[in-house]
Structure 1
C-alpha cells in the first residue's frame, strides 16, 4: 500500500491537498495536529482494492488444481469412473474456497462503503468546525454567506465564492466583489438585434405554466412594431391544451398575423417551407414536465424540421434551483440558444435561476415581469438582475439563516466542492 502524508496549516487546505493528489475516493487513515500543523495520512481508493488480490489468487489456485486433474487422454471406463469421482471430490473441496472468496469480496465492499461514509461524516464535521471558527475571525464571510443564501443562490456556489474572497475585505467591499463575480459570469444577450435584427426561426420551449404563449405574444408584438405584420409568422404545436391554440390566435388577430397549427414534424417542415420569406417565425410549443418522455420527441421534431430552429427555454423565476436544474438538463438536447426568465414579478427570490444560468452557461435573452403585451418584456441586463437578486432576498423569519445554523449548512456542501460546474466560474 502507498500511504501518503499531507500537511497544511488548516484542515481545509489539508483536505484540498488530499482530493487533488488522490481524488474523491481517497481513504483517510489518520488525522492529527502536530506542532500547529494538520497532518493527514491517506491512501488512494485503488490501493485499498489491492487487499482483495489474495482472495483472487485462491480462486485461481483452485481452478489450476482442477485443471491438473483433467486427463490428457481417453481413459478406460474404470479409470474414467475413478477420475470422475476425484474431480467431483475436488470440486466439493473448491466450493468452500469459492464461497470464502465471495464472502471476502462482499466484506471488502462493505468496509469500503463504511470508510467512504465515515470520510463524508468527518469532512462535514471538520467543515462545520472550520466555519464556526471562521465566522468569528472573518465576520464579512459569514455575512456574504447569509446574503447569498437569502437571495436564493445555492450553498455550494456561495461557499465556493466566499472561499475565493480576497482576504481582509470589509462587508461592503466583500458584497461588491461577490456581485462583480456573479455579473461577470452571467451571460446575457443585451442587444435585441440577435432576435429582432437578424430574425430567424425561434421556438419557445419549457414546462407547462411558465408563460410560453404570453411570452410568444410579447415577442410577436415587438417584431410587428419593428418590421411590420407581413414579416412575422406564428406557429403553435399546442394541440393538447384546451384553448391553447385559441389564445395565440387571439393575439395573432390583434397583431394582424395568421397563426398556423402543426401536429408533427412533417407538418412543421411544410409550414416552415411556406414561410421562407418571413423575417421572423415564432413557434409556441406545448408545455411538458421535465420528466415527460415526450420532451425528447419535441426536441427531435424541432431539430429535424429541415430549417435551423433556435430553442429558447422559458424558466420561471418562482421555481426552486433543483427544479430549474432538472428542467435545463431535460430540455438541453443538442443545445439551447438561450433562455427567457418569466414571472419575475411573482418571485420571492431569483438567485436560484441566476445560479442555474451561471452553472449551465445559458445566455439570458429577455426578462418577463407581468402579463401586459408587449410592455412587460425587457432585454436582460446582468447588472440589474444581480442587484435585484439581493434586493429580493428572503425576509420572512422561517427561511432566514441564523448565525448558529450557518456552519451546519456549510457542512453539507463538503461533497459538492468537486462540482465541475463550479470550477468553470470565472473569478478574475
Structure 2
C-alpha cells in the first residue's frame, strides 16, 4: 500500500489535504497532535496480490466453500456498517476507514464471484443469489455514505444547510461544492450570514458580456437545440435594433432548411420590421449571402435547432465555418430544461467557440438554478435574458445580480408552495 503523512494547523485542513490527494479511498492509520498542528498518516492501494491469491485459491474450492467465502466477506462488510451505524459520534476519520474496509470486503467478494463465473462448467451457483449479494453490498455502501453525510452535517451544520439550499435552488452538486469551498466559513457563523456569502459567490461567478451585442454590430449567430426560442430571440434582437437605429442597416439570415415554419416566422418578422430576410441553401451559400450583406451593420443568423445525435448538426457546423466572415456565436439555453439537458446542449456546441449565451423562457420555469449553475460553472458569459413573448420588451441585457435574485424568487415560491401543502 502507499503510505503518506500530512501536516496541517488543524484536523479540518488536514482532512482536506487527504481528500484533495487521495479522494475518499484513503484509510486513516493514525492522527496525532504535534507542534504547530496535527499529523495524519494515511494509506491507499491495498496489496492487490492478496486478492489475486484469494482468486487463485478459489479455483480449487467446491461450491459450498465458495458460498461460505462469499457469505463471510459479506458478513464482514455488514459488521463494519453496523458498527458505524451504532455510533452517534462517527468522525470523518472513522468514516473514511469504514468506507475503505467496505471497499476491501467488496473487492474480495467480487474476486470470488469472478472466479465462480470462470468455473461455470464446474461450479453451479444461482445467479439470483449472486445478484442478491451484489445488491446487499451496494446497499451497505449507500448506508455508509448516508452515515458519513449525517456525521459531517453534525460537525458543520451551517455548511450542510447552505449546501442543501443550494441544491434546492438547482445548483449542481459539483458547483455547490466549489461555492462552499470558496466561502471559507468561520466556525461560529450563522446560517443567514453564510447564505448571504453563498449568494454573493453565485453572483460573482456569473459572467456577462461587456456591452449590448446589438450595439456592437457585426454578424451574430444563435445556436442551440430545437424549441429553445432561437427564432423568437432573433425577432426580439431585431426589434431592439430597429427601435434604436432603424431598419436600413439590419438583415436576417436563416440556415434552417429543415423546418418550413422557421423561415415563415422569420420572414414575418422581417416584413413587420421592414428588413430583408435571406435563406442559406444549396443555391445560396452562406459565404455569398454574407458578402451580399456586407454593407449592413448587423446581420442576425438563425440556425437550425438540432439535437446532439442529429447527423445534420455536423453539416451545420461546417456551414458556419465555410465563410471567411467573422461570426460571433451565442448559444440559446431554455431555463425550463433539466440540468442534464442543458449540459448536453453545451457540450454539443462548445466546440464552435461560443462568445456567450442567451437564457430564454425564464417566465415559464419553476427553477433557474440549473441554467445559472451551468453558465457559472462553465464561465459562459451571459448576454441576454428573455422572460416572455412580447417583442422586444421581454428581452433584457444580462445582469448577474438580477438573474440570481430571480432564481431565489423561484426558490422561495417553491418553498412557500410546499409550506401550504
Shared fold, TM over 0.5: yes
- Structure 1 residues 137-169: Cα deviation after superposition (integer angstroms, max 9, x where no partner): 54x334322332222111332233234342132
CA RMSD in angstroms, aligned pairs only: 3.8
> Rg bigger for which structure?
1
CA distance in 2, matches of 1:399, 1:347: 15
By relative contact order (CA 8 Å, sep 6+), the higher-ranking structure is 1
CA distance in 2, matches of 1:214, 1:120: 49
- Structure 1 residues 154-208: Cα deviation after superposition (integer angstroms, max 9, x where no partner): 133223323434213222222221111111110012621xx22221100111111
Structure 2 residue ranges without an equivalent (≥5):
53-109, 116-133
Instruction: Give the counterpart of 1:177 among 197, 211, 224.
Output: 197
Matches within 5 A, 1:2-401: 2-6=2-6, 13-21=13-21, 23-24=22-23, 28-29=26-27, 41-43=42-44, 124-125=145-146, 127-134=148-155, 138=157, 140-163=158-181, 164-167=183-186, 168-189=188-209, 191-192=211-212, 195-263=213-281, 267-393=285-411, 395-396=413-414
Please state how far the C-alpha of 1:215 moved relative to its aligned partner: 0.4
Decide whether aligned partners of structure 1 residues 395 and 374 sit closer, same or farther in structure 2, where only a CA change above 3 A counts: closer
1:404 aligns with: none
Aligned residues: 339
CA contact (8 A) 1:190 1:380 kept: no
- Structure 1 residues 13-58: Cα deviation after superposition (integer angstroms, max 9, x where no partner): 555323444x45x85455567789895531359x869999xxxxxx
- Structure 1 residues 347-395: Cα deviation after superposition (integer angstroms, max 9, x where no partner): 1110111110011111100011111111111101111111111111165
Decide whether aligned partners of structure 1 residues 2 and 157 sit closer, same or farther in structure 2, where only a CA change above 3 A counts: closer
Decide whether aligned partners of structure 1 residues 252 and 240 sit closer, same or farther in structure 2, where only a CA change above 3 A counts: same
CA distance in 2, matches of 1:176, 1:398: 20
1:59 aligns with: none
1:76 aligns with: none
CA distance in 2, matches of 1:41, 1:263: 64
Report the 3-state secondary structure (helix = DSSP H, G, I; strand = E; otherwise coil) of the residue aligned with 1:333: helix
Please state how far the C-alpha of 1:336 moved relative to its aligned partner: 0.1
CA contact (8 A) 2:169 2:368 kept: yes
Decide whether aligned partners of structure 1 residues 8 and 376 sit closer, same or farther in structure 2, where only a CA change above 3 A counts: same
CA distance in 2, matches of 1:27, 1:143: 25
Report the 3-state secondary structure (helix = DSSP H, G, I; strand = E; otherwise coil) of the residue aligned with 1:305: coil
CA distance in 2, matches of 1:204, 1:322: 21
Decide whether aligned partners of structure 1 residues 122 and 335 sit closer, same or farther in structure 2, where only a CA change above 3 A counts: farther
Decide whether aligned partners of structure 1 residues 40 and 120 sit closer, same or farther in structure 2, where only a CA change above 3 A counts: farther
Decide whether aligned partners of structure 1 residues 170 and 275 sit closer, same or farther in structure 2, where only a CA change above 3 A counts: same
Is the deviation greater in 35-44 or in 229-238?
35-44
CA distance in 2, matches of 1:190, 1:16: 37
CA distance in 2, matches of 1:339, 1:145: 27
> TM-score normalized by structure 2?
0.70
CA contact (8 A) 2:5 2:39 kept: no
Please state how far the C-alpha of 1:303 moved relative to its aligned partner: 2.0
Decide whether aligned partners of structure 1 residues 184 and 120 sit closer, same or farther in structure 2, where only a CA change above 3 A counts: farther
Please state how far the C-alpha of 1:312 moved relative to its aligned partner: 0.9
CA distance in 2, matches of 1:294, 1:395: 41
CA contact (8 A) 1:295 1:331 kept: no
